[in-house]
Amino acid sequence: MMTSRSPIPSAPWLLAGPGALFFFGLVLLPLALTVILSFQAYDHSTGIQSTFTLSHYVTVVTDGYYLEIFWRTLRIAALTTLICAAIGVPEAYILSRMRDPWRSVFLLVIIGPLLVSVVVRTFGWSMLLGSQGLVNQALQLVGFAPARILYTETAIVIALVHVMLPFMVIPVWTALQKLDPMVEAAAWTLGASHFTALRRVVMPQVTLGMLSGSLIVFGLSASAFAVPALLGGRRLKMAATLVYDEYLQELNWPLGATIAIIVLVANLCIMLAYNRMVETRARRTLG
Amino acid sequence: MQKNGTIALTFHVLVLAFVLAPLVIICLVAFTPENTLSLPTTGLSLRWFKAVFAHPDFMASFWNSIWLAALSATLAVAFAVPAGLAISRYSFPGRDFLNALFLSPLIIPHLVLGVAFLRLFALLGATGSFAWLVATHIIIVTPYVLRLVLAALSGLDRSAEQAARTLGAGEWTAFRRVTAPMILPGITGGWLLAFINSFDELTMSIFVTSPATVTLPVRMYMYATESIDPMMAAVSALMIAITAAAMLVLDRAFGLDRILVGQR
Amino acid sequence: MAFLTLEGVSKEFGTFTAVRDVSLTIDKGEFVSLLGPSGCGKTTTLQMIAGLVEPTEGRISLDGRDITREKPNRRGLGVVFQSYALFPHMTVAQNVAFGLEMRRVPQAERDERVRDALMLVQLSAFAGRYPRQLSGGQRQRVAIARALVIAPPVLLLDEPLSNLDAKLREEMQFELRRIQRKVGTTTIMVTHDQAEALSISDRVVVMEGGRMTQVDAPYRLYEQPSNAFISSFVGKTNLLAGTWRRNGTSSAADIGGVLLEASAPEIAAGTPVTLSIRPEKILVRDAGAGRLEGRVASRFFLGSQWLFTVETPIGTMTVSTPNLGVEPATEGSQVGLDWSPDNMRIIAGTAAAA
A279, exposed or middle or buried, with CB in 10 Å at 0-12, 13-18, 19+? exposed
Please give the pLDDT value at position A64. 86
Domains of chain A by residue range: 63-286
Q: Helix, strand, coil: what percent of chain A each, to 5?
A: 75, 5, 20
Please give the pLDDT value at position A13. 80
Smallest Cβ distance to B179: which of A1, A24, A268? A1
The predicted complex's ipTM stands at 0.85
Smallest Cβ distance to C130: which of A186, A193, A285? A285
Please give the pLDDT value at position C216. 92
With CB atoms and an 8 Å threshold, state whether A185 touches C85: yes
Taking the C-alpha atoms of residue B97 and residue C222, their distance in angstroms, rounded to an integer, is 65
Distance from CA of A34 to the nearest CA of B (A): 6
pLDDT score of C1 more than 70: no
Neighbours of chain A (3+ CB pairs under 8 A): B, C
Between the ranges A102-111, B124-133, C296-305, where is the mean pLDDT highest? Answer: C296-305
Contacts A224 to B, Cβ<8 Å: 203
Contacts A243 to B, Cβ<8 Å: 111, 115
Mean pLDDT estimate for chain B? 84
Mean pLDDT estimate for chain A? 85
How, if at all, do strands C31-35 and C16-27 pair? Answer: unpaired
Percent of chain C topping pLDDT 70: 96
Taking the C-alpha atoms of residue B137 and residue B64, their distance in angstroms, rounded to an integer, is 13
pLDDT score of B262 more than 60: no
Please give the pLDDT value at position B3. 67
Percent of chain A topping pLDDT 70: 94
CATH of the domain at C73: 3.40.50.300
Please give the pLDDT value at position A150. 80
With CB atoms and an 8 Å threshold, state whether A219 touches B113: no
Mean pLDDT estimate for chain C? 87
Q: Which residue of B has its CA nearest to A133?
A: B38
Q: What are phi and psi of C29, to 5 degrees?
A: 85, 0
Judged by DSSP in three states, B2 sits in coil
What is the CATH number that goes with domain A63-286?
A: 1.10.3720.10
Neighbours of chain B (3+ CB pairs under 8 A): A
Please give the pLDDT value at position C224. 86
Please give the pLDDT value at position B256. 67
CATH class assigned to B52-261: mainly alpha
Q: Is the peptide bond before A101 cis (omega within 30 degrees of 0)?
A: yes
CB pairs under 8 A between A and B: 273
Cβ atoms C318, C352 nearer than 8 A: no
pLDDT score of C52 more than 50: yes
Please compute the mean of the pLDDT values over residues C249-261 and round it to a whole number: 78
C150 touches chain A (CB under 8 A): yes
| DSSP classification of residue A184 | H
Cβ neighbours, 10 Å, residue C302 = 9
Q: Which residues contact B245 (CB under 8 A, 6 or more apart)?
A: none
With CB atoms and an 8 Å threshold, state whether A263 touches B98: no
| C68 and C137 share one domain | yes
| C228 and C158 share one domain | yes
Contacts B256 to A, Cβ<8 Å: 108, 111-112
Taking the C-alpha atoms of residue A194 and residue A188, their distance in angstroms, rounded to an integer, is 7
With CB atoms and an 8 Å threshold, state whether B111 touches A121: no
Taking the C-alpha atoms of residue A257 and residue B207, their distance in angstroms, rounded to an integer, is 13
pLDDT score of A281 more than 50: yes
- The length of chain B, given as a count of residues: 264
Q: Which residue of C has its CA nearest to A182?
A: C85
Q: Which residue of B has its CA nearest to A185?
A: B1
Please give the pLDDT value at position A121. 92
Q: Give the residue from C87, C163, C190 with the most A CB atoms within 10 Å of its CB, the best one to mutate.
A: C87
Please give the pLDDT value at position B170. 74
Contacts C50 to A, Cβ<8 Å: 185, 189
With CB atoms and an 8 Å threshold, state whether A287 touches C129: yes
Cβ atoms C23, C7 nearer than 8 A: yes
With CB atoms and an 8 Å threshold, state whether A186 touches C87: yes
| C263 and C291 share one domain | no
With CB atoms and an 8 Å threshold, state whether B98 touches A20: yes
Quote the domain boundaries for residue C177: 2-232
Residues 217-236, chain B, touching A (beta carbon < 8 A): 217, 220-221, 224-225, 232-233, 236
With CB atoms and an 8 Å threshold, state whether A187 touches C87: yes
Contacts C75 to A, Cβ<8 Å: 189
In this structure, of A81-95, A214-228, C64-78, C246-260, the range with the lowest mean pLDDT score is C246-260
Please give the pLDDT value at position A264. 92
B13 touches chain A (CB under 8 A): no
pLDDT (tens digit per residue) in A13-35: 888 888 888 888 888 999 999 99
Q: With cut-offs at 50, 70 and 90, classify the pLDDT of residue B95.
A: confident
Q: Which residue of B has its CA nearest to A106?
A: B16
pLDDT score of A2 more than 80: no
Judged by DSSP in three states, C259 sits in strand
- Amino acid residing at C281: K
pLDDT (tens digit per residue) in C114-169: 999 999 888 999 999 998 889 888 998 999 999 999 889 999 999 888 877 888 88
Please give the pLDDT value at position C353. 38
Taking the C-alpha atoms of residue C354 and residue C352, their distance in angstroms, rounded to an integer, is 6
With CB atoms and an 8 Å threshold, state whether B22 touches A128: yes
Q: Which residues contact C274 (CB under 8 A, 6 or more apart)?
A: C228, C239, C240, C241, C242, C346, C347, C350, C351, C352, C353
Contacts A185 to C, Cβ<8 Å: 50, 52, 72, 79, 81, 85
pLDDT score of C13 more than 90: no
Please give the pLDDT value at position C251. 75
With CB atoms and an 8 Å threshold, state whether C87 touches A182: no
pLDDT score of B139 more than 80: yes
pLDDT score of B149 more than 50: yes
Please compute the mean of the pLDDT values over residues C223-247 and round it to a whole number: 84
pLDDT score of A4 more than 50: no
Judged by DSSP in three states, A265 sits in helix
Smallest Cβ distance to B22: which of A18, A162, A247? A162
pLDDT (tens digit per residue) in A129-173: 887 777 878 888 887 877 788 888 888 999 999 999 999 998 898
Q: How many domains does chain C have?
A: 3
pLDDT score of B244 more than 70: yes
In this structure, of A32-36, B23-27, C256-260, the range with the lowest mean pLDDT score is C256-260
Please give the pLDDT value at position C265. 64
| C331 and C348 share one domain | no
Q: Which residues contact B256 (CB under 8 A, 6 or more apart)?
A: A108, A111, A112, B247, B250
Taking the C-alpha atoms of residue B176 and residue B81, their distance in angstroms, rounded to an integer, is 13
Taking the C-alpha atoms of residue C127 and residue C129, their distance in angstroms, rounded to an integer, is 6
Distance from CA of B65 to the nearest CA of A (A): 12
The strand order across the sheet containing C203-208 reads: C78-80, C154-158, C186-191, C31-35, C203-208, C211-216
Domains of chain B by residue range: 52-261
B18 touches chain A (CB under 8 A): yes
Please compute the mean of the pLDDT values over residues A92-106 and round it to a whole number: 86
pLDDT score of B263 more than 80: no
pLDDT (tens digit per residue) in C316-354: 999 999 998 888 888 889 999 988 888 888 876 544 433
| Euclidean distance between the first and the last CA atom of chain A, given in angstroms as a whole number | 34
C91 touches chain A (CB under 8 A): no
